[in-house]
Amino acid sequence: MSSRTGLEAEAITRLTDGVEPPEVRAILVQCLAGELAPSTAVARMLSEKGAAIVRAAIDDVTHRAATLSRASDMLVQDRVDELTQVFVEHVADLADVSDEAKTRPGPEAKRRDRWSPEERVAPGSEFEDPGEAPTSE
């Protein structure tokens, strides 16, 4: 093992030591070691645990990178920064999809859009044409 690899492994251990849950920590270690792309790591962590747990783990590692990193940790710190950025973008995309789903008309609204103008007016409403005889169907 080269000294570079040893320093990198030491930095990764320092940044991820005690991160919970273990499944998320294992994925973080793989990502920080360069074995997984940040986007893949984020997707895997989110499939294992909820966004709040993943965010807490990434925030913890990001904080540690900012406060515990050494000059020799720059490659690992760059990976932490990239992971954080990917997570923020991924969560923003999820929020956009969620917002879109909330504002998109549901099946009931789509059914109403297919109704004819006569079907849209409730009998006896102020919009019903008083000269029109009610129909029975």
How many Å apart are CA 69 and CA 87, to the nearest integer?
A: 21
Instruction: Please state the φ and ψ torsions of residue 66, each to the nearest 5 degrees.
Output: -75, -30
Q: What is the pTM of this model?
A: 0.63
Q: What is the pLDDT of residue 73?
A: 78
Question: What are the per-10-residue average pLDDT scores of the chain (137 residues)?
Answer: 73 94 97 95 93 94 88 86 91 61 52 48 51 53
Q: What is the pLDDT of residue 82?
A: 94
Q: What is the pLDDT of residue 136?
A: 54
Query: What is the identity of the amino acid at 102?
Result: K
Q: What is the pLDDT of residue 112?
A: 46
- The pair of structure tokens assigned to 105 is 């008309």
How many Å apart are CA 75 and CA 34, to the nearest integer?
A: 10
